[in-house]
Each structure stands twice: as C-alpha cells, then as structure tokens.
Chains A and B, each alone.
Chain A
Amino acid sequence: MAAGTASTLEARLIAYLGSRVGRPVTVDRLVRIAGGVSRETWAFDLLGGDATGGEEGGARRQPLVLRMDTARPFIESDRAAEAELIRLAGRHGVPVPRVLWHETDPAPLGAGFLIMERVPGESLVSRLHRDERFAHAREALPAQMAQALAAIHRITPRADLRDATRLRRLPQRQAVAHQEETYRRWAVEPHPVVELGLRWLHAHSPPEAPLALVHGDFRMGNLIFAETGLRAVLDWELAWWGDPLADVAWVALRSWRGGRDALPVGGLATREAFHAAYEQAGGQLCDPGLLRFWDVFAHVRWAIVTVMELGGFLAGLPNLELASLGRRTAEIEWDLLHLLEREG
C-alpha cells in the first residue's frame, strides 16, 4: 500500500530508523515532494541518526530522501537491485546520492523503499536556463553529463554483481519486444503512430552490441545540479543491461529541453557537441546510423510510457500527473512521425 498520511509514515520511519541506528531518533520536516509518478518521494531531516552527531548538545541534522514504491508500481525492479546499482555507479565515478537503507520488505513502511542522502541543488530545467547563478552550470553541464553517461556505460554485467544481475537484459530486439509487450498490456485505445514506430523498429534492428548498463531515464529533471554543475544522477529504477546508445538518444528528446529546441540535449548543447564530449569521455561511438534507430526507439518508448501512465490513471491511481500525461502522447507522436517521414 501507499504511505497514507504523513503522520503515519513519520511514526513508521521513526521506528524503522531507530531500530537501524540502535537508538532513539527524530524525524523532522517530513514533506512529500514532486518526484515522479512511479514512486512516492518524501524529503525529511533525521536527527540523532549519526553517531558523530548529538555529542555537543544538539543532534546533527541529516537531510534525507525516501523513495517508496506506490501501490501499483509500473516498474518491476526491486529496491535491492536499485541500491546495488546506485552504489556501483558511485564506485565508477558517477555522481550519485549515498544510499543509506533499503528494504524490499513492505513491513516497515508499507512498501519497498530506498532512503538516500538529499543532495543539495536543483533539478528544474527552467531554473537552470533562467537563473543567473547557474550561468557556469549551463556551460559545465554538457561535458559533465557526457562524462557521467560514459562512466555509466563502462559498467558491464559481471558475475560479482549480486542484485543488479537481476535487471532485465535487453539487447536491441528484446528491447523492442519489451516495449511492445508493455504497450499491448497497458494501451486502452489504439495508437496507430506507436504501431508504425514499433513496426519500423522491428524492421530496422541493428546488429547486437555488447551489453552495458543503460540508465534508462537520464535526462533533465533526473539530474541534480548546483552552481558548479552536475551533483547527482537520480532515478535508477528503469535501468537495464542493453545498448548504451539508448541513453544517448533519450537525453535529447524534446520533452527535456525546457523549450530550448535549438539545443536538443536538455536545452544546453547540440547533439553534435554532446556526442563529441561523450565519445571523448570514453563513451560508445555515436554512429549516426545506429543513433537513427535509437532515436526512433526513444520516441516510441516515451510514447509508450505516457500510454502506460494513462493506463495507471484509468486503473485507479489517483494522480493528476498521470492523467495529464495521457494528453502528452500526441507531442511525442508528432516528433516520431517526423522521424518516420525522414526514414521513408
């Protein structure tokens, strides 16, 4: 079940965290924040949770974030795998929040969850574009994003990974098949543009590439930035083992540009400049032919995400964002049609 009221959740958090740190703790300023529709995201401060705090009269205040599964999660990943993945990415030089606790067991809080440190900074692309204090960040971010993405893509599925090996393995054809399955399961009305996109993807599957970690939702909105630029890459719940070019195409979708279409990568950089920075950082070769496939894939996948979220709304998930996403499918279809027209 979902968390219910903040006071119920606060009491459960205090009990859980107290048992984990082995002494009484306090939870302060618990507030639900906007943070995606597949998870409930809460911010709070933990007092008394750190052994180094509290010695000189006042308990140290730890700003934390709780990411909790919703009642009907669309995403069949588990929190143990996600926690391992975030820690793994951190060891590979990707800026990530420190994961402090995670549970797949719904008993403590009512649903599986992660508790992470709250990285100070912003995630709203409109602030990044407009606020003078982010002038340097705007300059620095494309290269920092390229470096982070290249670092993610150097992670490969290895035997020593315990939980992360349970992530889906989706090389090209399986990635398309997985999207089609998702679409058939959730679509409540016909979407001829999506059908056309899926058919094109089936017919144009490129040769298989070695599997690497694909973040799955690397974009503005899931990146924390400060005046110095990139601070953390968030939202690892959609990750899979597949072709890294899926991320390279995804980051340039129109929806993450904050209206600055001349700079397709987050309204910050041209595709060419970003690809060059990504290759220079040790990322995959951004072959234009392969990227045409992954561009179509990114649009089809994003359209299917909106179809799925509409399906969630119609199935009873009370979320205004889910309802509104149903009316965004046409934007993505517009861009997908443009790609398909170009491809002939």
Chain B
Amino acid sequence: MQDRPTPDELLRAVQDFLRDDVQPALEGRTRFHLLVALNLLDVLRRELELEPACRAREGERLAALGLLEPTAEGPPAAAAAPDPAALRAANERLAAAIRAGRYDEGEARRALLAHLRAVATDKLRVANPAFLERVADEP
C-alpha cells in the first residue's frame, strides 16, 4: 500500500499546477495542447475510479451473450472484473460474429445493440461524461 497522496490526489496536484502556473505562460498551439492534457488527466482520474466496475459490467454482458469463457477457477466470469486480455478476446469473437452475420436481425440484434449501447455509455462515463449529459434529452 502506497503512502498518500493517492493517485487521484497526485493527479489533482499536477492539474492544479498545470492550470494555475503553466497555462498563463502559454499561448497558441502549446496552450491548446495544455488544455487537451488537462482534459486527459480528468479522463485518467475518472478511469481510476470507474474502470473496475465498467470492466465487470462489460464482462457480465459478454458472458450473457455467450462470448466470455468462464474462468478456470470455477466462479462465473461475472463474479469479478475480467482482465483486459479476456475482454479483448471476447470482443474479437464478437467482431467476428458480427462479420459472420450472427447479429443481422431479430432478438440477437436487439440484444447486441443493447449491449453495445451499455458499453458505449460506460466508456463515455470515463472519457466524456459531459457528452452523456448533452445527449440525455435527445429522443
């Protein structure tokens, strides 16, 4: 267990420094890139907080679609967040199944669209929560 500051506290300190001390000295392209960097640090802070739960949910949904193999230990893959390699392999299988036409119509397509919508929502919770607020009122 590491000492304080926590990762979130460290990232906040870096952001405060960049925003308060560095940004005023910059202009043009470099200033623009600093704003991009500050935003990416926001993404990182949210990812540290939210990603384990996002991975667990994606694993559950992929298992429900029959695309994620149960772990060797016995408990269903849904019990814990699967590692990135397992999720990636499941998404490779999903991509191949889409190309093979397994989700072209009917209930399979509806279930897939709901899955992909849920995954996109979790990605946006980390990458751009303001986007989700922006689209909340759309039909």
**B95 and A334 contacting across the interface, CB-CB below 8 Å:** no
Cα A190 to Cα B121 in complex, Å, equals 17
Q: Residues of B with Cβ closer than 8 Å to A?
A: 28-29, 32-33, 36-37, 39-40, 43, 88, 91-92, 94-95, 98-99, 101, 103-104, 109, 112-113, 116-117, 120-121, 123-124, 126-128, 131, 134-135, 138
Q: Are A196 and B116 in contact (CB under 8 A)?
A: yes
Complex Cα spacing A300 to B60, Å: 27
Q: A259-B134, A320-B37, A320-B40 are in contact. Are A330 and B99 (CB under 8 A)?
A: no
Q: From residue B2, how far is it (CB to closest CB) to chain A in Å?
A: 26
Q: Closest 7 CB pairs between A and B?
A: A330-B123, A190-B91, A327-B127, A190-B95, A195-B98, A34-B29, A195-B95
Q: How far is the CA of A344 from the CA of B112 in the complex (A)?
A: 12
A–B complex contacts, Cβ < 8 Å, 27 sampled: A33-B28, A34-B32, A189-B91, A190-B95, A192-B91, A192-B94, A195-B99, A199-B99, A261-B135, A320-B37, A320-B40, A321-B33, A323-B40, A324-B39, A327-B40, A327-B43, A330-B120, A330-B123, A330-B124, A330-B128, A331-B131, A334-B117, A334-B120, A337-B113, A337-B117, A337-B120, A344-B109
- Are A261 and B95 interface neighbours, CB within 8 A? no
Q: Within residues 96 to 126 of chain A, which ones have a CB less than 8 A from any CB in chain B? A: none
B52 nearest CB across to chain A (Å): 18
Whether, in the assembled complex, A341 has its beta carbon less than 8 Å from a beta carbon of chain B, the answer is yes
CA gap between A265 and B91 in the complex, in Å: 34
Q: A190-B91, A328-B127, A334-B131 are in contact. Are A321 and B36 (CB under 8 A)?
A: yes
A31 at the interface (CB under 8 A from B): yes
CB-defined contacts of A338 to chain B, threshold 8 Å: 138
Residue of A nearest to B94 (CB): A192
Q: Is the beta-carbon distance between A331 and B36 smaller than 8 angstroms?
A: no
A333 CB–B CB distance under 8 Å: yes
Given A33-B29, A199-B104, A340-B113, CB of A189 within 8 Å of CB of B88: yes
The CB with the most chain B CB atoms within 10 A, among A31, A196, A344, is that of A196
**What does DSSP make chain B's interface, helix, strand, loop or mixed?**
helix
Interface positions of A (Cβ within 8 A of B): 31-34, 189-193, 195-196, 199, 203, 259, 261, 320-321, 323-324, 327-328, 330-331, 333-334, 337-338, 340-341, 344
Bound Cα distance from A325 to B29, whole angstroms: 17
Identity of the chain A residue whose Cβ is nearest the Cβ of B98 in the assembled complex = A195
State the total of A-B contacts with C-beta under 8 angstroms: 86
Q: How distant is B19 from chain A, measured CB to nearest CB, in Å?
A: 16
Among candidates A193, A261, A324, A328, residue contacting B134 with C-beta atoms closer than 8 Å: A261
Chain B residues near A334 (CB-CB < 8 A): 117, 120-121, 124, 131, 135
A314 to chain B, nearest CB (A): 15
Closest Cβ–Cβ distance, residue A72 to chain B (whole Å):
19
Contacts A195-B99, A261-B135, A327-B123 supplied; 10 other A-B pairs, CB < 8 Å: A31-B29, A190-B95, A192-B95, A199-B99, A199-B104, A324-B40, A328-B127, A334-B124, A337-B116, A341-B117
Most buried by B among A32, A324, A334: A334
**B95 partner residues in chain A, CB cutoff 8 A:** 190-192, 195
State in angstroms the CA–CA spacing of A340 and B98 once bound together. 14
Chain A contacts of B36 at CB under 8 A?
Answer: 320-321, 324
B98 lies within 8 A of A192 (CB): yes
A330-B124, A337-B117, A340-B113 given; A199·B98 CB < 8 A: yes
Report Cα–Cα, A259/B127, bound state, in Å. 16
- Nearest to B34 among chain A residues (CB) is A320
- Say which residue of A32, A196, A323, A328 sits within 8 Å of B112 (CB atoms): A196
Q: Are A32 and B33 interface neighbours, CB within 8 A?
A: no
Whether the pair B88, A190 counts as a contact (CB closer than 8 A) is yes
Q: Are B128 and A331 in touch, CB under 8 angstroms?
A: yes
Q: Nearest Cβ distance between residue B111 and chain A, in whole angstroms? A: 12
In the complex, chain A residues whose CB is within 8 Å of the CB of B116: 192-193, 196, 333, 337
Q: Which residues of A contact B134 (CB under 8 A)?
A: 259, 261
User: A328 to B36, alpha carbons, bound, how many Å?
Assistant: 12
Residues of chain A within 8 A (CB-CB) of B131 are 331, 334
